[in-house]
A and B are shown apart, each in its own frame.
Chain A
Amino acid sequence: MNKFLRYIGRRLALLILVLIGLSIITFTLARIVPSDPAAVYLGPRPRPEQIAEVRIKLGLDKPVYVQYAYYLRDLLHGDLGTSIRTHQPVLKSILRFLPASFELMLTAIILALIIGTLLGVTSAQKENTLIDHANRLFAVTGVSLPAFWLGLLFQLLFFRCLGILPLGGRIDIYVSLFSPIKHITGFYVIDSLITGNWVAFKSSILHLILPGITLAAYSTGIIMRMTRATMLEVNREDYIVAARAAGIPERTVVFKYALKNAMAPTLTTAGLAFASMLTATFFIETIFYWPGVGTYTVKSILLNDYPVIMAVTLVGALLYVLVNLVVDLVLVFLDPRIRL
């Protein structure tokens, strides 16, 4: 355990270095790449005296390393800048929209892990059969589909043609008017469940289905491929062959012995898939009118709201780094063979 704590300590120290690196890159992008950050800050056609004023306000009259120190100080105080479009602190807006995005991403990653692992295991068990080929084709399709286009097709099919699922949003308008959800966690599904608000629960689940599946498609594909590949390897190992020879039921062998060891690469892949999921939410939230960070960011991109774009980039990278850290820690717990 002591060793484990030391490992966490070392990883956290490394994390600080990575964070400094991230801040240097976003700082470079925000302050050095644009020819005049003050003009960027003010938007189109500013007056010269405005520019002068903003230059002092942003500290642009000081040397670069002083500017970076200011930037770092602001970040440490939770100041990610102010949106040009809404004049609101960016952090506040991000925090407001984050639960919606998390709910969507969590749904997608759970879907992807379950479906991807199951398909991967079945494929490995039935190697080179029709089922295997079908699963592999399914996986490569998931990896090749543009997410925003898949979302549009789903809307066309399930909303327009079949009329069984909503077009977008998090909840029906009349539901939110007549049986509003109490705000506890910010996750509509959980909040409506623990307050026993069944109408809202049903509505929020229905609204999650299409964006959830769309977002999960890519990750499902890569998780399936990774699971299949590792399961094929694990299946050839001695202890699995021995377990089979000893007559242990196939199900126990696969799910208890083999899958446990195949889980490590699968989880690592899921951590990496989180990166593409973060950006895919931009597209999918926009397509499904999902009021999350993605929609907020895309609106900001269209209006050149630089502080928001930079802040979201930094927060996204931070989340990504944290998720990968958590995955690594879980792996250490799962697999005692990993040397610390």
Chain B
Amino acid sequence: MKRLKKNFYRGGRLKEYRRSLHFFLKNPLTILGLAIVISLILISIFASQIAPYPEQGRGISSVKDRLLSPNYERLFGTDNLGRDILSRVIFGSRVSLKAAVVVILIVVVIGTPLGIIAGYFGGKIDEVIMRMSDMILAFPSLLLAIAIVAILGPSLMNAMIALSVPWWPWYTRLARSQTISLRERQFVEAARAVGVSNFKIMFRHILPNCLTPIIVQATLDMGYIILSLAGLGFLGLGTQPPTPDWGVMISKGRSFILNQWWFSTFPGVAIFITVLGFNLLGDGLAEALNPKRRK
């Protein structure tokens, strides 16, 4: 009997996933997003193999080739230190993706458990955690990040910390609202009745059921975090040269924009396509996994 029930349950879930997958694959924009994200990951993994001038991508300058316009050999042209911009853009994807993933991991790992604890226990604990996150959410997030990194000193590491501080409360809220709706469900009550510890209920039973909206949110946030990191780089607060960073490249190319248009343009295209990819993918995931949003 028990086994039958379990299979039945699994079947329902599988069917639901299959339906979601169907909706997911039906939308051409979502496929485009997925394709962009996958190619991006591949490009950043194989940067050294793909980039035509890998050593310049990493930061070695070659002054005799400075500011060459795009041509057959240098598809994106070269920058003011003679480095191949295509190679720099390719290596830049590594920096951006890695940093954004780290930020997302930090905020999910900090925000989610706090939200589950707040939602599960309620009362004073809930009050303290939520007021704390409200306080941080009262700041425009990038503004707070800029202030923090300005105090800590400019570096990629500090930029990642600074972006995580204003971001975790979003995940706390998300996890909390999920937990509150799950708290009174039968499987939780059953677990409690059998004497499973609070800790185990929260992280073995509630956490897995919170993951779907968190993954959707994380995908959408990847785009925003990459934009913010580029912004911090543009202000000189993020990645420091000679490490390739899209935001820094745009900032360096700014003084050349009127005559050497390619310098700032191509790194910007890279940011745009990357963020677009994550946004399309995130939207598609949200639509596929949330039955309310389906038509």
List residues of chain A with CB under 8 Å of any chain B CB: 18, 21-22, 24-26, 29-30, 33-34, 136-137, 140-141, 143-146, 148-149, 152-153, 155-156, 159-160, 274-276, 278-279, 282-283, 287, 298, 301-302, 304, 306, 309-310, 312-313, 316-317, 320-321
Contact of B272 among A26, A144, A160 (CB under 8 A): A144
Knowing A146-B231, A160-B258, A283-B231, say if A152 contacts B138 (CB, 8 Å): no
Using known A-B contacts A25-B136, A278-B143, A317-B140, determine if residue A146 contacts B150 with beta carbons closer than 8 Å: no
Asked whether A301 lies within 8 Å of B272 as measured between CB atoms, the reply is no
Asked if B264 and A149 make an inter-chain contact with CB atoms under 8 angstroms apart, the answer reads: yes
Q: Which B residues from 208 to 232 make CB contacts under 8 A with A?
A: 223, 227, 230-231
**Chain A nearest Cβ from B144, distance in angstroms:** 7
Q: B254 to A22, Cβ gap below 8 A?
A: no
Shortest 8 CB-CB distances between A and B: which pairs? A149-B268, A275-B140, A21-B135, A144-B275, A279-B142, A144-B276, A313-B147, A317-B139
Is there an interface contact between B271 and A149, defined as CB atoms closer than 8 Å?
yes
Q: Is the CB of B264 within 8 A of A152?
A: yes
B146 touches A22 (CB 8 A): no
Tell me the nearest residue of chain A to B273, going by C-beta. A144
With A22-B139, A152-B264, A301-B237: A146-B271 Cβ-Cβ less than 8 Å:
yes
Known: A34-B151, A144-B275, A309-B147. 10 other contacts (CB 8 A): A24-B135, A141-B276, A148-B251, A152-B264, A152-B265, A275-B140, A275-B143, A279-B140, A282-B146, A313-B147
Determine the distance from Cα of A152 to Cα of B261 in the docked complex, in whole angstroms: 9
Q: How far is the CA of A321 from the CA of B137 in the complex (A)?
A: 10
How distant is the Cα of A334 from the Cα of B73 in the complex, in angstroms? 61
CA A309 – CA B148 in complex, angstroms? 10
Also in contact, A320 and B227, with CB within 8 A (given A29-B148, A152-B254, A282-B235) = no
In the complex formed, the residue of A with least CB distance to B269 is A149
Cβ–Cβ contact A153 & B265, under 8 A: yes
* A18→B151 CA distance, assembly (Å): 23
Contacts of A302 in B (CB 8 A): 235-236
The docked-state distance in angstroms from the alpha carbon of A275 to that of B257 is 28
**Cβ-defined contact, A301 with B140, below 8 A:** no
What are 20 sample pairs from A and B whose C-beta atoms fall under 8 A apart?
A: A18-B135, A21-B135, A22-B138, A24-B135, A29-B148, A33-B148, A137-B29, A140-B280, A146-B234, A146-B275, A149-B250, A149-B264, A149-B272, A152-B264, A153-B268, A156-B258, A304-B150, A313-B146, A316-B143, A317-B140
Q: Are B151 and A306 in contact (CB under 8 A)?
A: yes
B151 touches A152 (CB 8 A): no
Q: Is the CB of B279 within 8 A of A143?
A: yes
Residues 234-248 of B, flagged 1 when their CB comes within 8 A of A and 0 if not, give 111100000000010
Query: Taking CB as reference atom, which chain A residue is nearest B131?
Result: A21
B138:A317 contact, CB within 8 angstroms: yes
A-side contacts of B151, CB under 8 Å? 29-30, 33-34, 306, 309
Q: Is the CB of B272 within 8 A of A140?
A: no
A275 and B141 in contact, given A149-B268, A149-B272 (Cβ under 8 angstroms): yes
B150 / chain A contacts, CB cutoff of 8 Å = 301, 304, 306, 309
CA distance A146 to B223 in the complex (A): 11
- Known contacts: A30-B151, A148-B231. The answer to whether A276 contacts B264 by CB under 8 A is no
**Contact A144:B235 (CB < 8 A) given known A287-B254, A317-B139:** no
Question: Within 8 Å of chain A (Cβ to Cβ): is B134?
Answer: yes
Q: Is the CB of A22 within 8 A of B140?
A: no
Contact A21 B280 (CB under 8 A): no
The answer to whether B283 has its CB under 8 Å from any CB of chain A is yes
Give the nearest-CB partner of B150 in chain A: A309
Other-chain contact of B138, A18, A33, A159, A312 (Cβ < 8 Å): A18
Taking CB atoms, residues of chain A closer than 8 Å to B264 are 149, 152
A278 to B135, CA, bound (A): 18
Distance from B154 Cβ to chain A, minimum over Cβ atoms (Å): 9
Chain B residues within an 8 Å CB radius of A34 = 151
Instruction: Flag if A152 contacts B139 (CB, 8 Å).
Output: no
Report the bound CA distance from A278 to B141 in whole Å: 10
Provide the residues of chain A in CB contact with B227, threshold 8 Å. 144, 146
**What is the distance, in angstroms, from B203's C-beta to the closest C-beta of chain A?**
30
Give the Cβ gap from B150 to chain A, nearest Cβ, in Å: 5
B215 to chain A, nearest CB (A): 19
- Tell me if B235 and A298 are in contact (CB < 8 A): yes
Query: Contact at B139–A144, with CB atoms within 8 Å?
Result: no
Nearest-neighbour CB distance to chain A for B159, whole angstroms, equals 13
